[in-house]
Amino acid sequence: MSSEGDRTLIDGVSVSPHHFINGKRVASDRSFEVRSPLDWNMKLADVSRGDREIADRAVAASVDGFRQWSSMAIGKRVDVLLRLADLIDQNAADIATVECLDMAMLLGSLKARLVPRGALNFRNYAELAAAHEERCWSSRGTRNRIIRDPAGPAVVITPWNAPFMLATWKLAPALAAGNSVILKPAEWAPLSASLLADLVNDAGFPPGAFNVVQGLGHEIGAALVSDSRVRRISFTGSPETARLIGQAAARNIVPFTAELGGKGPLIVFADADIDAAARKAAAQFEDSGQVCLAGTRLLVESSVRDAFLERFVDHTGRHVRGDSREPDTTLSPAIHPEHLERVEGFVERAKRNGDRIVFGGQRTDPDKLWYEPTLIEPRSNDSEIVQKEIFGPVLTIQSFESEDEASELANSTRYGLSAIVYTSSEQRAARLGRAVRAGTVWVNTFLVRDLTAPFGGYGISGIGREGGDYALEFHSDLKTLQILEGTVS
Q: What residues are annotated to the active site?
A: 259, 292
Window 153 to 212, contacts with ligand NAD (CB under 6 A): 157-161, 166, 184, 186-187
Is residue 236 at the binding interface for ligand NAD, with CB under 6 A as the rule?
Answer: yes
Residue 372, CA distances (Å) to 137, 260, 310, 376 in order? 61, 25, 18, 12
Regarding 259 and contact with ligand NAD (CB under 6 A), the answer is yes
Closest separation in Å from C-beta 237 to ligand NAD: 3
User: β-strands 295-301, 264-268: how paired?
Assistant: parallel
Residues 300 to 359 in contact with ligand NAD, rule: CB under 6 A = none
Q: Which is nearer to ligand NAD, 238 or 353 (CB)?
A: 238
- Binding segment for ligand NAD among 6-14, 26-34, 137-145, 221-229 (CB under 6 A)? 221-229
Q: Which is nearer to ligand NAD, 234 or 316 (CB)?
A: 234
Nearer to ligand NAD, 189 or 300 (CB): 189
Q: Which of 64, 71, 77, 81 is nearest to 22 (CA)?
A: 64
In angstroms, the Cα distances linking 158 to 166, 171, 212, 396, 480 are 7, 10, 12, 28, 33
In this structure, are residues 373 and 294 in contact, taking their beta carbons and an 8 Å threshold? no
CB 236 → ligand NAD: shortest distance, Å? 5
Task: Kindly determine how many residues on this chain lie close enough to bind ligand NAD according to the rule CB under 6 A.
Answer: 30
Helix H or strand E encompassing 257: strand 256-259
Nearer to ligand NAD, 161 or 383 (CB): 161
Instruction: Please identify, using beta-carbon distances, which residue of 258 and 309 lies nearer to ligand NAD.
Output: 258
Size of the chain, expressed as the number of residues it contains: 489
Kindly tell me which residue out of 37, 261, 265, 295 binds ligand NAD, with binding defined by CB under 6 A: 261
Pairing of strands 295-301, 394-400: parallel
- Cα–Cα dist 216/54, whole Å: 12
Give the one residue of 54, 249, 282, 417 binding ligand NAD; rule: CB under 6 A. Answer: 417
Tell me whether residue 249 or residue 299 sits nearer to ligand NAD (CB atom).
249
Q: CB of 466: closest distance to ligand NAD in angstroms? A: 8
Phi-psi region of 43 (alpha: psi -120 to 50; beta: other; left: phi over 0): beta
Q: Is 19 in the site for ligand NAD (CB under 6 A)?
A: no
101-129 burial, b for 16+ CB within 10 Å, e for fewer? bbbbbbbbbbbeebbbbbbbbbbbbbbbb
Residues binding ligand NAD (CB under 6 A): 157-161, 166, 184, 186-187, 217-218, 221-222, 225, 236-238, 241, 244-245, 259-262, 292, 389, 391, 417, 457, 462
